[in-house]
Amino acid sequence: MNGLGKGDGDAGQGDSGKDAVMKNRWGWAAVFLLLLLSLVFQIFTWIYVREIREASPAPSNRALLEDLQTELAEMNQTLNSLAREQRWLQDCVFLLDKDNSRQENMAVKADVVFSRLSEAETPFILYRPKGETEWAEEELRLTQGLEYTTRILLSPYYEYEYMMTARGAMEISSDTALIPYNVYGLPRWSTDLKVAFASGSNAVDFTIFVLVSQNAPLPEMRPVGVELRVESEGLEPESVSFTEDRNAAGAWSTTWALADVSVVNDISVFIDVTYENGLTRSEPFELLKDRVRYESSRT
């Protein structure tokens, strides 16, 4: 997998830039906190050691103090090392390259800034779908100074996590983080549900509302159809189309009738959204089973 992308001025890119700025601010806050803790720790240690030395000049106590000082110095070195590692990756911004993105291959460009990197170290980006164990990798290309870039191809169906690493005499890596999904992913949606029980029977009508995000990375990722898909073992799948609300962008709704609410736990329901580019995203949908069970038992 590889990728590409420069900014495109839409909401998706803006969000990714904000994510990068916030990440950089939190990173520097963590560095400052580590250094502050290290400084406070050293000051209190120095005062404590001085007081013990003045009160206990015996050689045996001095040996214990020297051991204590050695341990404290090692702890301080660890704190400083953590601070340096946090500063190593200064910034990382992901942008979509619209011209080179095609359906299931979204080209995303990663612009990376390091605080230090020797000529003997080669930086890479490692990335993978969230939840998987195997990493894909791409070498970063130097643009200027300590600024690097590369292109990776991502599927619009998945969230991806990444980390930066540099290989040389020693290997250093950043923490694992998520690539902003709204930079390259198919628009997601939120749902709502209304339930109406028929008087004197187990029948129930579900009115389902779907609101598809308007934050699409590409114009051809606009939704053109929404369906409710119902599956049950031993029965043919049933599909119900949604109707788009022309007065509310991205809003769709439909009504589906279930003859016997007692079988609600035996069926699987999915919402399928089809986009202009021909791709379809499917997600499971819960019919609020606990609520249905409660309302069906009312008198």
CATH topology (fold) of 189-296: Immunoglobulin-like (2.60.40)
Average pLDDT over residues 68-91: 65
Q: Can you tell me the distance from the alpha carbon of 30 to that of 88, in angstroms, rounded to the nearest whole number?
A: 13
Instruction: Give residue for tokens 């803790």.
Output: 37
Query: The pTM is what?
Result: 0.66
What is the 3-state composition of the chain as percent helix, strand, coil, each rounded to the nearest 5? Answer: 35, 40, 30
Q: Is the pLDDT of residue 222 over 90?
A: yes
List own/partner pairs for 163-166 with CB under 8 A and 24 or more apart. Answer: 163/125, 163/126, 164/89, 164/92, 164/112, 164/123, 164/124, 164/125, 164/126, 164/140, 165/123, 165/124, 165/126, 166/114, 166/117, 166/121, 166/122, 166/123, 166/124
| Residue range 11-183, CATH number | 2.60.40.10
Work out the pLDDT band at 74, boundaries 50, 70, 90: low
The confidence score (pLDDT) of residue 9 equals: 39
The confidence score (pLDDT) of residue 263 equals: 83
- Positions of CATH 2.60.40.10 in the chain: 11-183, 189-296
Q: Higher pLDDT residue, 126 or 233?
A: 126
Q: Is the pLDDT of residue 186 over 60?
A: yes
